[in-house]
Amino acid sequence: MRRFALLLLITIFFSASTLMAEDKLFPWNKTPDEQDDSGLLRRIDDWLTYGDPERLADPDSTASRFRNNLRMTIDIAGRGIVPHKGGNSGSGSVAFIGLDIHKVFSDDHGDYATLIAQPYLTKLNSVKGPHFFEDNNDWELVNRIMNINFTRIFDERMNIKVGHFEIPYGLEQPLNTNGTLRDMTHPRNLGVKADWGVTLNGTLTDYEYEVGVSRGTGNEYFDSEDPYVIAGRFGTKHDDNLIVGVSFLKGSIWNPGALNGYKRGLVDASGVTGNVIDRERYGLDIQYHFERPMTLLAEFNYGKDFKRGVFNTMMELDFYNASKSTMWFTQWNYYSEQYDAALGSWEAQIDGSLGWRWTPNNNWALSLMYVQEVSAKKLNDESVRLGSKFIAQLRYRF
């Protein structure tokens, strides 16, 4: 607790001092005229935005055609994590550096495809990561999003997306929390956030939809043990004040950690082998945007892991300032699953979080979040220690 308090005080001190300081130390305190145009960050930013002027002057050059309708940024972030459980605490960190590329392909008849590529080098330092990291200090190339969406099939009514995409299910599909401290229910509820495959997606008169088939292995593509995912979401348009969606998922997902969690709820787990878990989910998600800058999010999920019943929910309330440069949020998650009767039948876990995000401009973002376990799943009324963690992240995008 003392370490958490110290980190919080340091963060508040630096945030307040840089905002109020007469000597403007950081770029977010400077006007565009005050920033040094000859600095390295400025030169990289200009090249990413405008490219090579000599090559772009030729409209028939490859550089000119590629730069047309292209947005490309370098994304750098550092995340510090301080967990605490049972009187023990430690610290760890995660470093990210990657490209965020968004390209719209067009011809004389209009747009016909959209490319999104987000490869990120990710380094863990004393932090447990997803199953594709070999240990707590590994680094991997993480493909957050890597796909092309062909948009001239049947106008906007049906598009075909191919590549690595977020599973079309629940609130994550319209919101996309990649690179932020917030997360929706995908990692815990589904066991996979993004996957390799193909989807059909589009917009009808009053509704949006996306339905896909994917490999079920997440960041990497392989066919060992024949994993797969079939998932889809149908919802009202994302620009309405009230947005409602329904989702489904059926699959065998490669996730050794999720499978081990399933085994803990069995009296005899000797018959469960391999690394895939059979999952089935049905979801309802709701977004309501109030007239004031405030949003209510909710997601309800029911389904099965193999033959075991599962019921997971999430609720979040977001507050913004008038310019939406500052966001406060609180999120609550309820996870429950049906253990063997001899182990206590249905068991539930509840955790809550408080978070803050500040984006003074399009480049910088500072985020803080505190997560506290309120209750934990227990086998035969065993004693369980509750944990908490404090997370801070600083992010810069060229």
Q: For residue range 258-287, what is the model confidence (pLDDT) as tens digits?
A: 888 888 777 777 778 889 999 999 999 999
Q: How far is CA 70 from CA 48, 103, 104, 293, in A?
A: 10, 4, 7, 31
Pick from 67, 61, 65: which is nearest to 47 by CA? 67
Domain boundaries, the chain: 1-28, 36-68, 69-397
Q: How far apart are CA 267 and CA 263, in angstroms?
A: 8
Asked if 211 contacts 199 with a C-beta cutoff of 8 angstroms, the reply is yes
Q: How confident is the model at residue 18 (pLDDT cuts 50, 70, 90)?
A: very low
Residues 335-368: pLDDT tens digits?
A: 998 877 666 677 888 999 999 999 999 899 999 9
Which pLDDT does position 126 carry in this prediction?
93
Q: What is the pLDDT of residues 111-133, one digit of tens each?
A: 899 999 999 999 999 998 888 89
pLDDT at 252 (0 to 100): 95
**How much is the mean pLDDT over the chain?**
84
Q: What is the CA radius of gyration of the chain?
A: 23
Fold of 69-397: Porin (2.40.160)
pLDDT of residue 257: 85
pLDDT single digits (tens) 200-229:
999 988 899 999 999 999 999 988 899 999
CA-closest candidate to residue 117, choices 165, 160, 77, 180? 165
